[in-house]
Structure 1
């Protein structure tokens, strides 16, 4: 009986058995998943929304990376002083390290950690490591090819900016794609019409301004225009008469009709960024409005220009997918502001995977102000994407060739086709 037991145990523990088993979790499965992940990590990327500035793409010191808005929000929740930049350097470093250790579970902390691990080979552990990191950032920022080298690590081919003066990317193979933002102008137009003695005449003048502006953008080679939108109570399917007493939200909707109509005539994209509210307090907050996309649907139905919807509010992630499913000229863009979380990405990818051809969806909105944060956030999204698509293949919903096609469409080809950018 002992011999039989030993024989059974030896057979069960034979190395060849464990290495060739197809049971999830075995070494072979792990190796196949690693190879799949590496293929995802090498796919091309188009970063569809950044705040990069062409003549200062790289961070110039440690603090330009450490004080990035999204990380700083989490650090402050962990006790980091709001005015830490005003502290003496040693005190500032100590305060940073305390907050960094307190927030090790948060998403931006993990991205920050990967930025320094992968781009500088440094673990942030103590005051000496912060000083080492600061010296490394300063040293690398002086290299004329640094931004291109960082982009190449994840095969990020193009970036989008919204300010013309920022589009000349120094030291990189290609300049940024320019999609001018008009939200500052849009708010002024609404105000001027609402406060005019003759709103109809003011509206007529604004219509001509819009035509001239979009024509100029088209002549400049811009593929489209971008605007954020505030909370609105009006709907695009109700076109109100312009006259004394017309509400500002009604004016906004009428102007959106003019913008979409002119974009259609010029063959341009309209990119709408939605879900961040600034009217409730002095801090931008996410606003989940279940009617937000519904109120715009008459624009999608009336005008044949491409629309790209980018949202910052979690509950609207399904709404934009439904709009893209209903209207062939609507696509969904990357996850913006408060949507940039791993859990939200997983849900959004599932919505998109089930309902939309992959060419109608883009994933990447880094919102980065330096190339290092674009790298870190794209690294995270690629890892999440690899995990998501691997699971789809393991469950038999899609084969690996199709999964890689979906990944490349979501990361690059969808946005590249809409923007005419290769």
Structure 2
């Protein structure tokens, strides 16, 4: 079997597969990049450029110096994933290859011209075949100039921390917890009534486990209080038919920069929630060793689903490892792949291209090895890229 031919057929077919982007930072009133530098300074690409010598204060440099510094770093990091995505963004969306200062100036002019078009965001989304987007802030969900608004999955992590802190600092933590429960009842009922399918929260490292029983009395630690808060959240979500989307694996307490934090007990400590509550959970991780842990949790618990790859997991090698874990253990309806984490529609396009490419390469290898035929591979792609999330988020029937 010719693997190159298989890959090309799968790449072409997967290129026409719909996408459900389950986590973005898009703002509905400003979906496209305002200029080239907003694309070039996207966090993930910016880190790769910095590693190649691009200055952290590049935005403050005179324009000619900034272009020179960018081009040098761009050439020095051409092998990196985000650099490849930038190349694809500029070629596919604007027909520009970044080679010299004149091409950067042309790119800036092209992005600025597109930014004033009311149909530009929808055009980019259509070219990427992204049909649904998720945002986490209510005022970001109205997608101006697009056929559909975003799916709103409200983010509540700031509230969780405040509630746990209040309980830990109170002489009467049981009263604080009752206030939390009343707040959650009102909040989640409102989310349900407005059509939100679930709630999202990040979650840091915990010293305590969700299956532990702590007396609710003065002197409770913040981690012990957080366990009580998480139980209250899951109970309220189950009551109101909302899924709970947990983002884990990034920590900000080790230095000035957020870092991937591998923790072999991270998912184990949450198992008490999966065991007690029957509502759906979606696990999105940024720490590489926890990728297998979430697959094991989804294998053990019918209500646990594996989500897209977040932060430091967004690499082709990691995607292919995760795809193998999921292929071997889980029905495809249990897994979603796409978390673009993008702040503009152009980077949605670039990151979706990266995911499609990694997926086509992985599936071509599995077809040539005899584990799948091409029809099965494409069915898997459709589920992982769109249908699994669409069912879980209530866009299509289960």
Which segments of 5 or more consecutive residues in structure 1 lack a partner in the other structure? Answer: 1-21
Conserved in 2, the CA contact under 8 Å of 1:116 and 1:123?
yes
Question: In the aligned structure 1, how far is the partner of 2:182 from the partner of 2:91?
Answer: 53
Q: Where do residues 184-263 of structure 1 align in structure 2 (5 Å cutoff)?
A: 184-263=158-237
Q: CA deviation at 1:102?
A: 1.4
Q: CA deviation at 1:83?
A: 1.1
- C-alpha offsets along residues 379-422 of structure 1, whole Å, 9 cap, x if unaligned? 11001101111111111111111111100000000000000125
Aligned to 2:314, which of 326, 336, 340? 340
Conserved in 2, the CA contact under 8 Å of 1:228 and 1:273?
yes
Conserved in 1, the CA contact under 8 Å of 2:20 and 2:130?
yes
- Asked if residue 149 in structure 1 is aligned to residue 139 in structure 2, the reply is no
SS of the counterpart of 2:255? coil
The Cα RMSD (Å) is 1.0
Structure 1 equivalent of residue 101 of structure 2:
127
Q: Where do residues 8-407 of structure 1 align in structure 2 (5 Å cutoff)?
A: 22=1, 24=2, 30-407=4-381
Report runs of 4+ in structure 1 exceeding 6 Å deviation: none
Q: CA deviation at 1:32?
A: 4.5
- C-alpha offsets along residues 149-185 of structure 1, whole Å, 9 cap, x if unaligned? 1111121101000000000001111100000000011
Question: In the aligned structure 1, how far is the partner of 2:352 from the partner of 2:383?
Answer: 15
Q: CA deviation at 1:239?
A: 2.3
Question: In the aligned structure 2, how far is the partner of 1:294 from the partner of 1:391?
Answer: 32
Conserved in 1, the CA contact under 8 Å of 2:171 and 2:219?
no
Question: In the aligned structure 1, how far is the partner of 2:203 from the partner of 2:144?
Answer: 32
Question: In the aligned structure 1, how far is the partner of 2:38 from the partner of 2:112?
Answer: 10
Q: CA deviation at 1:114?
A: 0.8
- C-alpha offsets along residues 291-312 of structure 1, whole Å, 9 cap, x if unaligned? 0000000100100000000000
Question: In the aligned structure 2, how far is the partner of 1:257 from the partner of 1:347?
Answer: 32
SS of the counterpart of 2:246? strand
Q: More deviation in 275-284 or 369-378?
A: 275-284
TM-score by length of 2: 0.98
Q: More deviation in 87-96 or 269-278?
A: 87-96
Which segments of 5 or more consecutive residues in structure 2 lack a partner in the other structure? Answer: none
Question: In the aligned structure 2, how far is the partner of 1:67 from the partner of 1:31?
Answer: 36
Q: CA deviation at 1:33?
A: 3.3
Structure 2 equivalent of residue 8 of structure 1:
none
Conserved in 2, the CA contact under 8 Å of 1:239 and 1:253?
no
Q: CA deviation at 1:198?
A: 1.9
Q: CA deviation at 1:101?
A: 1.2
SS of the counterpart of 1:53? coil
Q: How many residues align?
A: 396
TM-score by length of 1: 0.92
Q: More deviation in 101-110 or 287-296?
A: 101-110
Question: In the aligned structure 2, how far is the partner of 1:30 from the partner of 1:230?
Answer: 43
